[in-house]
Structure 1
Amino acid sequence: MIKKSPTPRTRAVFGMCVLIFLAVLIMPVSAGVSQSTIAQGDTLYVSGQAPGSQQVALYFFGPNYFKYATAQVNDGSYTYQLTTTSDMSPSQYYCVVQSPGTGSTFSVGPVTVGQTTYITVKPGSGVPADGDSFVVQGPNALQGSQAAYALEQMLKSPNIPDLSQTFTFTIDYPMITINPVGTLYMGTPFTVSGTTNLAAGDTLLVDVRVASFWPMSKEEANAQDSASWSQGDSGSVIVQQGTASGQNFWSFSVNPLHSSQYEVTVTGIKTGATASQQFTVSNQSVPTVVPTTAATTVATTVPTTAPTPTPSPGFGLLAAAGALGAVALLIFRRH
């Protein structure tokens, strides 16, 4: 039986398949976050791609902070939720996402011995590898950027098949602002709004209450339709995504109010952040806007032909008149 050698086209297709397969195996792990800046107490979402892996490991480093976690990979993708940001002080943090690459187990990982936690090679042994480990919890622990850099250098070793990617994020104090409300008028609905660094989708409680009583005569009170106006309002709103990280916005529609001094308070349910502002609802009528009329402009007619100039005595005519006067004076003197 004669074996047929593969044609050039067959060899090319086979080679392409091998290249694609190898690319999937050695493709670096990717990682990203929902927001590069989040409020303390909000949830940080980390997601990415890790083709060929069953799980990824996540290392979080910060000032006096270390956390290790794993996430399952489904169809080449993973998602992890960091829900403990309330325990993390406002600062910059580093996250290293690790994939075992072509292997089935991690070649680098944490090992805890007593009160000390190491990042070490061959974590399955349960003993820190001499010369290939560093401390992340306990005496002489590396923190923040130093710990992230040490782990990166360890994973870049030619003897380590694991893949990784590092990114940073910032945790800020939770903050809510209220835009200036100003003076309002009784019986007129309005909207309060503001900004926040709380995550889009967070819930805010908005409460509008009387801060001080505005005295009103009985005649004024009877003249108003008090049934349609309240002395407060409250409800909840959802934070909306802003145009920049950490700069989201919110708004709340308020029903018509009686005239008084009011205070609006906005509180974040998840983080406990709060803000307040006072404003006045006047018992005066809404000012009537008088429309302004443009002044009528009378068009000036421009003549199409130049007017005939009126002759005026020129220099030559004046000179001639002077000469005649001089001759008359001479004749008069001779006589």
Structure 2
Amino acid sequence: EHLGFQINTNMYSAVDGSKRGNYIAGPNTYTAADPYFLNETMSTTITKVSNYTVATWTTYGVPFGTGKYLYFNSTSGVYSKEATGVPTTAPGVNDTWSIGYDVLTTGTAAPIAATDGYITLKVKDSNGATYSKLKVGTLDAPADVSLLGVFVNNQPYYFGTADLSTGVGYWVTDATDFNNQYLYPVGTYTAWAESTLNKMKDNYKNAGADYTGKTVSAAGTITLVSDSVKIEANKDSVVRSKSFSVTVTGKPSTTYYVWVKNTNTMDSGYDSQPPMININQEKVYSDDANAAGISGTHAIGDYQYENGGGDTIWSNVAAATTSTFNKTRYYASIQTSTSGTRTIEFVTNNWTKAQKYTIRVENRFPNGSLYTSASASVKSDEVDVNVEKGAVTIVAAGDQSYYLGEEIKFSGTNTESYKTYLFISGPNLPQQGGQIQGTNPRSDGAPGVTDGVANTFKVIDVNGDNTWSWKWGTSTVALDAGTYTIYAVSQPRSAASNNLANAAFGTVSIIIKKPFVSATASQSTVAQGDKIFITGTAEGNPTGVKIWILGKNYPTDATGVKDETVNTDASFSYEVTQQTTKTLYPGQYFVVVQHPMQNNVFDVRPVVEGTKTYVKNMQLNTAGVSTGTNVFTLLGAGSLQGSDAAEALVQGINDPNVDDTYTKLQFLVEVPVIRIDPIGDKHVGDKFTITAATNLAVDDEILVQVYSSSFKPTQKSQSGEFSGATGTVKVAKGDSGMNKISFDVDSSTFKPDEYIVTEEAILQVATGTALFNVLEGAAPTAAPTVVVTTAAPVTAVPTTIATAVPTPIPTTKSPGYGALIAL
């Protein structure tokens, strides 16, 4: 390579003629108003005008010569010039005069370039050696040109008088010594310029350092590389349908040929195609695809490669049986960048044959040399890349068993292509595979998928990490329960004949089941005012179920038929509230839970028309009517009663035209009761439990009150007395068909009397009552067989709420009315 240096001289400009001490680089022209000059150190102060003659000036050593003229500059700004150098005006007393060179339009320009240069170039190699000269010119006859004292007189300036158009005068970087070895070794060279004018670099510093941009230029680098070429791949192996790249490193801005070597036995068909060079890459050139196959029109392909016996790249790459476009994609010419590199991308697809490929780079120098030329120098290199066959996988989320109407997620990987093609096979589906994306895989399509026609398959894009996924909604799919196989294929190939042999594919089997519904009541008997829950499971992913509760004169309007949402886990729960059961007449009620099946539409439903509510079959229509057919009248004149309505409903859902399904159950509504068990006589100080049976629900709250029957209004002269207990308890689960209520009593503070017990439901309408007596003294005990001394028992604090008995006015004890009757 022949290199030149350009010097930026914009920092130098013309100055006023009265300024001294500067050399200004400029054009070889003279104007009186703007002279360009080099000031000499010689100056003098004139004391006697008569003493200064032309001879006196010359004795001071002014270097006169051909084409050089004297220039006189005074501090007063008065100057004059003559061709002979003789002032036309006599100097004034005490004026200071200087002598300098004046650059005129005639004669030889001053200063002399060979001796008066002011820019020094520095070139340092990677070992730290700094050059004072470089070989410049041509390779045949390079000359040593100094880097010191360069006279910059043009803008832009090129070192060595380099000519951009001819290349003459550049640095000959491949110059050799007497042993034919390169003078300039491979490596990175650093170059910069320094100003030596008036010792500017030494005197003009930036905080003590050289002033970059002022006296020292910014450094540039030049990297000399060996005269060779290298090719490297970014991947040793690649799965087909993925891309890879190769990087060529060689001489800067140089043309090379790149091709897939020795692939001429391939025909570019399926599994017989080499990797192709991607289109529209920078400085990567291909022959015109339309000219492929026409002799003499593929200039790049006509390159005769080394050791080919005259064979060309065109004949060394794969043929093109279906498209001449492909053949020109197997080779290219490239141009390296100014740094000597170029990266080329290759693409593969599911037609690329899985094998090892050799990518070759080559060129013959000088460019255009024949392969038979003995003086030609061939530079080449090769790299191997292995292309592997990919694979397609598919899995189904969950346990691979699903109800019609559910959403099924399929996912997998595809390293073979950028799209995955799905179809379904199963009992009585098309042999080549059914269209899984349609509503009727049995008959959609021709029927089924068509081999090679992509839009007859479900096409899914593959992600950058080779994964894919798709959710199949089966709510509108016409399929029977059974076992089915889902195919995931790298190409739109069907299952007929041997089509899948030329593609990568995976399969997964799934079980499709018919949706169903199940339900139970939280209790078979419910007291009025108690809530009851209808809970169950509705498989098949319906959005909801319909709850029908039918009884005597119930429901009272169409809003009595309820819709309940089904949760994502297929469960549902409907609450018949306390307010609702409180108004229900005692008796038997029938419950039908209706499932809409996979189409998620209730085909049998209540429809209000005027003053009547009908249950209609929406799948049956009379002539000219599309609003369904009446099954029976639910509300209004002629409506069916209780059990008859329930039976008519299930028969309507059983219609063959209706796909809905159902489950049925019943519950009994009773009047709430509380039956307190007999308590018997108790003695003061006894601890006992009052129990009761009830049909109220578990956890219903019961207010229990135990109070003396003598508790009544008193006169002002008497003190009022109260003896008893009160509290709230919850209904507990019973073991004999009825639930139970328990209330603990401590009678330590009770006075002998008759006591009334009331138990009343707080939220429901239910009450129970009972009587018992509390007697004086302790309960009789059996006589002990051995007399022993025992400590007085400590009476525990009762747990019941009791009111202390005030000290009464002494009177004769008289039991109340109730106590008398009891006695």
* Length-normalised TM-score, structure 1: 0.73
Counterpart AA for 1:32: T
- The 1:243–1:276 alpha-carbon spacing in structure 2 relative to 1, beyond 3 Å, is same
Which residue in 1 is equivalent to 2:742?
A: 251
Counterpart AA for 1:65: Y
Which residue in 2 is equivalent to 1:50?
A: 538
Give the one of 106, 126, 129 matched to 2:628: 129
Q: Please identify runs of 4+ aligned residues in structure 1 that moved more than 2 A.
A: 1-4, 11-18, 125-130, 289-293
Which residue in 2 is equivalent to 1:109?
A: 605
Do the aligned residues in 2 keep the contact of 1:94 with 1:144 (CA within 8 Å)? yes
Do the aligned residues in 2 keep the contact of 1:187 with 1:258 (CA within 8 Å)? no
- 1:34-73 paired onto structure 2 within 5 Å: 34-51=522-539, 52-66=541-555, 67-73=560-566
Find out whether 1:77 has 2:571 as its counterpart. yes
Q: Which runs of 5+ in 1 are unaligned?
A: 214-228, 294-335
User: C-alpha separation between the residues in 1 aligned to 2:552 and 2:626?
Assistant: 26
Find out whether 1:93 has 2:586 as its counterpart. no
Give the one of 767, 779, 787 matched to 1:274: 767
Once the 2 structures are TM-superposed, how far is the Cα of residue 237 of structure 1 from its aligned partner? 0.7
Cα displacement string for residues 211-246 of structure 1 (whole angstroms, at most 9, x for unaligned residues)? 137xxxxxxxxxxxxxxx97111111111112355x
User: C-alpha separation between the residues in 2 aligned to 1:176 and 1:243?
Assistant: 16
Cα displacement string for residues 53-75 of structure 1 (whole angstroms, at most 9, x for unaligned residues)? 11110011101112211111112
Cα displacement string for residues 127-164 of structure 1 (whole angstroms, at most 9, x for unaligned residues)? 9634x321111111112111011110111111111110
Radius of gyration: which is bigger?
A: 2
Find out whether 1:29 has 2:517 as its counterpart. yes
Counterpart AA for 1:62: G
User: C-alpha separation between the residues in 1 aligned to 2:626 and 2:758?
Assistant: 55
Do the aligned residues in 1 keep the contact of 2:515 with 2:598 (CA within 8 Å)? no
Cα displacement string for residues 276-310 of structure 1 (whole angstroms, at most 9, x for unaligned residues)? 011100013221133689xxxxxxxxxxxxxxxxx
Which residue in 1 is equivalent to 2:403?
A: none
Do the aligned residues in 1 keep the contact of 2:590 with 2:646 (CA within 8 Å)? yes
Do the aligned residues in 1 keep the contact of 2:759 with 2:768 (CA within 8 Å)? yes
Q: Which runs of 5+ in 2 are unaligned?
A: 1-269, 272-349, 351-390, 394-425, 427-482, 487-507, 712-720, 787-823
User: C-alpha separation between the residues in 1 aligned to 2:510 and 2:651?
Assistant: 30
User: C-alpha separation between the residues in 2 aligned to 1:191 and 1:127?
Assistant: 68
Give the one of 272, 282, 285 matched to 2:778: 285
More RCO (CA 8 Å, sep 6+): 1
Cα displacement string for residues 35-60 of structure 1 (whole angstroms, at most 9, x for unaligned residues)? 11111111111000001211110011
Q: CA RMSD, aligned part only?
A: 2.8
Find out whether 1:238 has 2:730 as its counterpart. yes
* Length-normalised TM-score, structure 2: 0.31
SS of corresponding position for 1:285:
coil
SS of corresponding position for 2:549:
strand
Once the 2 structures are TM-superposed, how far is the Cα of residue 86 of structure 1 from its aligned partner? 1.1
Give the one of 171, 180, 196 matched to 2:678: 180
What is the percent sequence identity of the aligned residues? 35
Cα displacement string for residues 233-279 of structure 1 (whole angstroms, at most 9, x for unaligned residues)? 1111111112355x111101113222111000001112120010111
- The 1:152–1:259 alpha-carbon spacing in structure 2 relative to 1, beyond 3 Å, is same
User: C-alpha separation between the residues in 1 aligned to 2:666 and 2:680?
Assistant: 40
Do the aligned residues in 1 keep the contact of 2:685 with 2:778 (CA within 8 Å)? no
Which residue in 2 is equivalent to 1:321?
A: none
Counterpart AA for 2:661: L
Once the 2 structures are TM-superposed, how far is the Cα of residue 27 of structure 1 from its aligned partner? 3.0
User: C-alpha separation between the residues in 2 aligned to 1:117 and 1:149?
Assistant: 17
Give the one of 678, 691, 707 matched to 1:193: 691
SS of corresponding position for 1:212:
coil
SS of corresponding position for 2:518:
coil
Structure having the larger proportion of residues in helix: 1
**Number of corresponding residues:** 266
User: C-alpha separation between the residues in 2 aligned to 1:80 and 1:33?
Assistant: 10
Counterpart AA for 2:699: G
SS of corresponding position for 2:650:
helix
- The 1:65–1:128 alpha-carbon spacing in structure 2 relative to 1, beyond 3 Å, is farther
Do the aligned residues in 2 keep the contact of 1:93 with 1:144 (CA within 8 Å)? yes
User: C-alpha separation between the residues in 1 aligned to 2:522 and 2:552?
Assistant: 22
Give the one of 641, 646, 653 matched to 1:143: 641
Which residue in 2 is equivalent to 1:171?
A: 669
Cα displacement string for residues 52-110 of structure 1 (whole angstroms, at most 9, x for unaligned residues)? 21111001110111221111111200000011011111111100000111112211111
User: C-alpha separation between the residues in 2 aligned to 1:291 and 1:14?
Assistant: 87
- The 1:233–1:47 alpha-carbon spacing in structure 2 relative to 1, beyond 3 Å, is same
- The 1:127–1:180 alpha-carbon spacing in structure 2 relative to 1, beyond 3 Å, is farther
Do the aligned residues in 2 keep the contact of 1:211 with 1:278 (CA within 8 Å)? no
- The 1:258–1:127 alpha-carbon spacing in structure 2 relative to 1, beyond 3 Å, is farther
Which residue in 1 is equivalent to 2:701?
A: 203
Once the 2 structures are TM-superposed, how far is the Cα of residue 14 of structure 1 from its aligned partner? 4.1
SS of corresponding position for 1:65:
coil
Cα displacement string for residues 164-208 of structure 1 (whole angstroms, at most 9, x for unaligned residues)? 001111111101111100000012222101111001111111011
Do the aligned residues in 1 keep the contact of 2:708 with 2:722 (CA within 8 Å)? no
User: C-alpha separation between the residues in 2 aligned to 1:190 and 1:280?
Assistant: 13
Counterpart AA for 2:553: N
